[in-house]
Amino acid sequence: MATRQDWQVTSANRSAAKRLLNAWHDSRQVRVMPLSELNERLQRATSDGLITHEGIVRALGQKTTRKNDYEQDDKREDNRDNKHDNDERDEHDDRQNDGGNDDESREDEQQKNEQEKSQQEKRDEELAASKQQGKQEYEDGGAMDDQHSNDEEKQQAYEDGYNEAEDEDLNGKQDEEQDGNNDDDENDDEQEQDENKDENDEENEDEDKQDDDDDDDIEHEMLAVVMKYVKAGLNVALVGPAGSGKSYLSRMVAARLSLVYHSHGAAMSKYDLIGYNDANGTYHGTPAYDAIKEGGLLCFDEFDASAPEAGVAFNGMTDDQPFYTFPCGQVDKHESFVAICCMNTYGNGASADYVGRFKQDAASMSRFVKVYIDYDVRVERRIAGEHVDILQRVWDLREACTSLGIRHIVSTRMIDQARKARVAKVTRKCLDRDVLFAGLDDGAIKQVKAQMKQIATNRKRGA
């Protein structure tokens, strides 16, 4: 049997030894093994029974029969080894040469990271301060809507703080404490308003006058339809929810026809409509008498809240007779007389929201063309003017109440009230309590506000 001395790995047969070891080892490891390790690995292979000494001798002995080939292989192997060593040395030298530049780059990058971290910490502090300011504004009864930051993140943080304080106040305070805080807020607001009253009265009066002038230019979306009916000689009943602009629309009709506008409220008896003679025989007239005698448009407002007998008395004013008999005698109808009535229902009696309504006589109701008047967003937008936040908040409130099935009248009138209150420096907290959410209990307010936040979130996401 051959022994260890039968073979020896030398530079002449190293390539053959490596080819043998590639069968059991990673070729990348074998490629860099020195001669001593190659001898040791082959000896271990014989000990493990992977190959016999005779097999090694034969493999290494091929050197004599294929000397030129093995010499070429050994030369190529040596060249690869030398190239690998040279590449490693070049890479090491490059790292050393670039070490100074890398240090400078790392230093610059570290300094940049520190600056960014410092800026972010400053940013976080500013956002936290804005949020805390929003909470403080709520606690102090301040007007959040007066905050106009050019930074959207700060503004959002401010509003988040305000809303969080608002929710905490609703959930955590007792009614007695809340009433006390509200009283304090009202006292502070009243004191502030008293101090500024002399200086703002004249300005507010001019603004209100200008607002009234601007309102006359707002055309309700149903105006054209109503005008066609009126010009056709038909009596029109404007039916719609409270504050939807029915009375306003009737004034617009009068303005378009260049007629004097006469308005009459709910009548509890026919004499509220037609007037009466006192004990001395003196007649006391009404807007209906003036409109028929002198001409103009008569708006019978809250018609469905009037006693049915008043509605029947109104029949004679809306029929084709050329005259009407008042307690003072017969009066010829003026050629320009026009009659319009406004109702929240269709005359069928009380509803869940309008409990003070009477069922009207069928003959009275048959005399009218009934036009439904809903909230006109164009009118509401013009009424809100620059106070777009109030407009959007009312719209969100309306949508939230509708989706939750909560009965709460969110009318165009509410926008006008909130706008005028804003001009008078009333705080948002008071606006919410006295205008937007008035009449809702705490549980309903919490539900509605949560829904409004969701609506606002969906709007920002473009949902």
pLDDT, tens digit (0-9, with 9 covering 90-100), for 384-398: 889 999 989 999 999
For residue 397, the one-letter residue type is L
Q: Give me the domains of the chain, ranges plus CATH numbers.
A: 4-97 (no CATH), 223-375 (3.40.50.300), 378-460 (no CATH)
Percentage of the residues of the chain whose pLDDT score is greater than 70: 70
Q: Is the pLDDT of residue 163 over 50?
A: yes
Q: Is the pLDDT of residue 182 over 60?
A: no
Q: Is the pLDDT of residue 115 over 70?
A: yes
Reading the block at residue 188, the tokens are 């502070």
Q: Per-residue pLDDT averaged across 120-125, rounded?
A: 80
Whole-angstrom Cα distance, residue 240 to residue 141? 36
Model confidence at 146, pLDDT cuts 50, 70, 90, reads very low
453: burial class by Cβ within 10 Å (0-12, 13-18, 19+)?
A: middle
Q: Per-residue pLDDT averaged across 171-178, rounded?
A: 50
Percentage of the residues of the chain whose pLDDT score is greater than 90: 32
Higher per-residue pLDDT: 141 or 95: 95
Q: HSE-up of 162 (CA within 13 Å, CB side)?
A: 23
Pairing of strands 368-372, 261-264: unpaired
Model confidence at 447, pLDDT cuts 50, 70, 90, reads very high
* DSSP code string of 89-136: HHHHHHHHHTHHHHHHHHHHHHHHHHHHHHHHHHHHHHHHHHHHHHHH
Q: HSE-up of 319 (CA within 13 Å, CB side)?
A: 12
Q: Is 392 left (phi over 0), alpha (psi -120 to 50) or beta?
A: alpha
- 3-class state of residue 300 by DSSP: strand
Q: Are 399 and 391 in contact (CB under 8 A)?
A: no
Q: What was the pLDDT predicted at 378?
A: 85
Q: Per-residue pLDDT averaged across 59-83, rounded?
A: 58
For residue 193, the one-letter residue type is Q
Q: Per-residue pLDDT averaged across 230-255, rounded?
A: 91
Model confidence at 300, pLDDT cuts 50, 70, 90, reads very high
Q: HSE-up of 55 (CA within 13 Å, CB side)?
A: 11
Higher per-residue pLDDT: 363 or 162: 363
Residue found under tokens 């690995």: 41
Whole-angstrom Cα distance, residue 172 to residue 178? 10
Calculate the CA 442 to chain-centre distance. Answer: 22
User: What count of residues does the chain have?
Assistant: 463
Other residues' Cβ atoms within 10 Å of the Cβ of residue 150: 6
pLDDT, tens digit (0-9, with 9 covering 90-100), for 95-112: 666 555 556 667 777 787
Cα-Cα-Cα-Cα torsion 145, 148, 151, 155, nearest 10 degrees, comes to -10
φ/ψ of 239, rounded to 5, equals: -115, 130
Q: What was the pLDDT predicted at 213?
A: 43
Which pTM value belongs to this model? 0.52
What's the Cα-to-Cα distance from 385 to each of 145, 304, 341, 357, 423, rounded to whole Å? 15, 33, 29, 34, 12
Q: Is 296 left (phi over 0), alpha (psi -120 to 50) or beta?
A: left
Model confidence at 61, pLDDT cuts 50, 70, 90, reads confident
Reading the block at residue 426, the tokens are 């009333």
Of the candidates 352, 267, 336, the residue with the CA atom closest to the CA atom of residue 298: 336
